[in-house]
Structure 1
Amino acid sequence: MGTTKMLLTALCLSVMICACASRRWNGPRPKPSTRFTEACAIFDNVKIREKATRCNKNVLDKVADLDEKVNIFPYQYMRRLYRWARNGMLCYAQTGQAIEVSGPCEAMELSCSSRDPKPVDHCWRVTGAAKPPGRPQVPQNPQAPPPNPPGHL
């Protein structure tokens, strides 16, 4: 009985340790659109402080550094998002189509636009959410069958 309790306690303890470790290092990653939107305030403040009218590499580096201080997990996620944007892995939806982002500056500008912000996300997710091409309309009410010609039953 005593060894069973010890084995059960050891098993529970090891499961808890594994769960905590996996949550810390392999936990769910935030969506790119969420992280870009969260970083908009930092992005705007850095542009004002640097007196930059447009996004540039210096602004992006400072945004990534400040974001890392605020959002510790996942480690260097903004820099990873920048790399994905440069490699054509991020897109946004426009008129039912997935448009590829040309770089990290465009991704930040689109996400932080005051007029019309667009969520920037993985291309596979945006493509999956895009509307399929229009199909011909099916009538709502079924039409009655044509009358039988005379002489047919």
Structure 2
Amino acid sequence: MDGNFGEMIYKARIRLGYTITKTATLSGVSHSTISSAEKNSGKPGFDALYKIGVALDLDPHELIDAAPHLDLSKAPPTALIFGESKDVQVIFSRRLRELRVSIGKTQMEMKKKLSITELRYGYMESGREMPDERLLREIAVELNTTKEFLLGKTDDPTRPN
């Protein structure tokens, strides 16, 4: 899947009804990086494409794979790209996204269920923000898991009966 990362970003952004500015805010990537990426005129790095992918509900690895200027095999061994991490914020953001996707919910549906802003939810999935204790409990219930699993204290996602 080479060369169409810009089109993937554009279509996902339009599908979600996001402006470039909103996408930049949710992803933490600059407006100009997103704009040039959509036109395939820029060469965003691994981290930028990962953050854009998460913000737009795209598989970040597919987006990176579609970028002809990047070679996934040469990606830096950062926690955001691949490999394990002991950082609670990284573990939480990964597990939050993985569980949400596995039950077929969108970010929009989750933010409504949790009564939080779309921006806050996007920040949690991109690893930029952690929930407070109350919200963490609500997320665990909504995703049918435990707080301990979301925080990486256990690898067992099963809720006790």
TM-score normalised per structure 1: 0.24
More strand by share: 1
TM-score, structure 2 length as denominator? 0.23
Higher helix proportion (structure 1 or 2): 2
